[in-house]
Amino acid sequence: MHTQEPGAVRHHSVIIVGGGQAGLSISWYLKKAGIDHLVLEKHQVGHAWRNERWDSFCLVTPNWQCNLPGYPYAGDDPYGFMKKDEIVAYLDGFVASFQPPVREGVTVTRLSREAALWRIDTSEGAYSADQVVVAVGGYHIPVVPRAAERLPADIVQIHSSQYLNPQSLPEGEVLVVGTGQSGCQIAEDLHLAGRRVHLGVGDAPRVARTYRGKDVVAWLDEMKYYDLPVDQHPLGTGVREKTNHYVTGRDGGRDIDLRKFALEGMQLYGKFEGIDGDVARFGAGLKGYLDEADAVSESIKDSIDKFIAANQIEAPTEARYVPLWQPPSDQARALDLRASGIAAVVWCIGFRTDFSWINAPVFDGRGYPGHVRGVTAAEGLYFLGLPWQYTWGSGRFSGIDRDARYLFDHIAALRAQAGQPLMSQAA
C-alpha cells in the first residue's frame, strides 16, 4: 500500500472503478496504448467470481466465449463450461498477462465533477482523473422481499450470492424462491445432494442446451444474435430488464427442466407472494410459467430451424420437447414451513444496481445511467460491463472486449482533442 499525504489528491489520466473482467479489459487497452491509468478495486480483482458464486458454480456460456482482450480461452475444452476455480484461474492468467495497475482493497465512495476533472473519493483518500470508467458490474444490492422479515426466526435465510453448498445449510427441507439462472441452479444443486426442495417458480424463460447437433449458443452465434445491438433488438432497451434464460453448464452442460425436477420429487409452486405466520403463500401461475418457459425454448428452436433451412445447412433433425409433467389442477399454493421442516430459504430474485455514489447528472428516474454504448453525456464519464450495454455479451465474458475497445477509442479521441499524447507519463 502506498501512503498518501493527508488531503493530497493523486491524479491519473484515467481511473477505472472495479477490477472485474470489465475494468481489467479496458485497462488492457489503456496499458497497451501507454495511457496512464489506475484500477481501483474494493476487494480483490475478480471478486465476484471468487466470492459471490457457489462452490459447484460453472459457466452457463461455453468456454470459447471467454474472449478477454489478447487472452482468448486457450484450454482443451472450448465447448465445455469452466468451473468456479477455473474461471478465477482464467482471470488471474489474464491479469498476469499484462500486469494492470490495480489498487485492491480500495472502495470508491464518491465520484463527482470538480472543475475540469473528475474527483474520486475513496477509502484511502482522494484521486482525480481526466476520464473515469465505472466498471462495477450490474449486481450490487441483493434483492430480498420485505416479506422475508416475517419468516420464523429459526429458519435460516440467505440470498443466492451467499449460497455456498448444500452442507452449508442446516439439515432439513429448503425453500428456494426464484427461477432465474441462480435459482434454478441452486435448486438443482440442493436437489442433486438429496435435499428436498420447494421451488417458487417465476416467469423466467428457458433455453435448451443443445439442438440439432450443437450447443444453442453456437447456433445463436452463427445467426449473429450476439452481434445484435440493443437498439435493434425487438424489445429495444427493454431487454435490459429481462431475466436470463435458464440452462446449465454443469457436468458438461444440459437443460434445466423444472418438470423433470417435479417428477423427481421437487415441489413446485407459483410466484412467492408472502408469509402468514408459519405459512408461505404462492400465486396460481405455475402452469403458465412452465408453459411459457417451454414456449420460449421452442421458439428459439424455431428460429434455428429457419436459419438451417435458409442456409441449407446439414444438421441432424431432432424431435421437439414434450412436457414431462403437468402441475395438478389443485396445485399447492401454500407451504407450511414448520410442518414441512423447512430449515432454510434461499432468495434468488436478483440484484438491484446502486450508483448512488456517483454524483453526475446522467441517471434516469430509476437510477439507470443514460449512455450510448457506455458513453454518457457527462464528458469523460463512461460505464462498462452493464447487462445489454450494447449487445447480449456486454455484461458477460463474450462481449466485453468489443465494448472495452469502443470505450478505449473514445477515451483516446478525447485525449487527442485535449492535445494529450497517446503515450502519457505516469502521474
Q: Which is nearer to ligand FAD, 107 or 267 (by Cβ)? A: 107
The CA radius of gyration of the chain, in Å to the nearest whole number, is 23
The answer to the question of residue 395 lying near ligand FAD (CB under 6 A) is: yes
The answer to the question of residue 17 lying near ligand FAD (CB under 6 A) is: yes
Q: Which is nearer to ligand FAD, 11 or 287 (by Cβ)? A: 11
Beta carbon of residue 10, minimum distance to ligand FAD (angstroms, whole number): 15
The answer to the question of residue 247 lying near ligand FAD (CB under 6 A) is: no
Beta carbon of residue 105, minimum distance to ligand FAD (angstroms, whole number): 9
The answer to the question of residue 21 lying near ligand FAD (CB under 6 A) is: yes
The answer to the question of residue 396 lying near ligand FAD (CB under 6 A) is: yes
Residue 419 has a CB neighbour count (10 Å cut-off) of: 6
The single residue among 15, 26, 59, 293 that binds ligand FAD, judged by CB under 6 A, is 59
Which range, of 26-34, 132-140, 221-229, 373-381, touches ligand FAD by CB under 6 A?
132-140
Beta carbon of residue 347, minimum distance to ligand FAD (angstroms, whole number): 13
The answer to the question of residue 48 lying near ligand FAD (CB under 6 A) is: yes
The answer to the question of residue 404 lying near ligand FAD (CB under 6 A) is: no
The count of chain residues that interact with ligand FAD, using the rule CB under 6 A, is 31
Which range, of 43-51, 256-264, 307-315, 372-380, touches ligand FAD by CB under 6 A?
43-51
The single residue among 4, 31, 33, 47 that binds ligand FAD, judged by CB under 6 A, is 47
The single residue among 13, 56, 61, 131 that binds ligand FAD, judged by CB under 6 A, is 61
The answer to the question of residue 205 lying near ligand FAD (CB under 6 A) is: no
Contact 355, 369 (CB under 8 A): yes
Interface positions, 323-382, toward ligand FAD (CB under 6 A)? 357
> Rounded to 5 degrees, what are φ and ψ at 262?
-60, -40
Contact 385, 20 (CB under 8 A): yes
Q: Which is nearer to ligand FAD, 99 or 312 (by Cβ)? A: 99
The answer to the question of residue 108 lying near ligand FAD (CB under 6 A) is: yes
The answer to the question of residue 130 lying near ligand FAD (CB under 6 A) is: no
Footprint of ligand FAD (CB under 6 A): 17-23, 40-43, 47-49, 59-61, 107-108, 135-137, 139, 181-182, 357, 385, 395-398
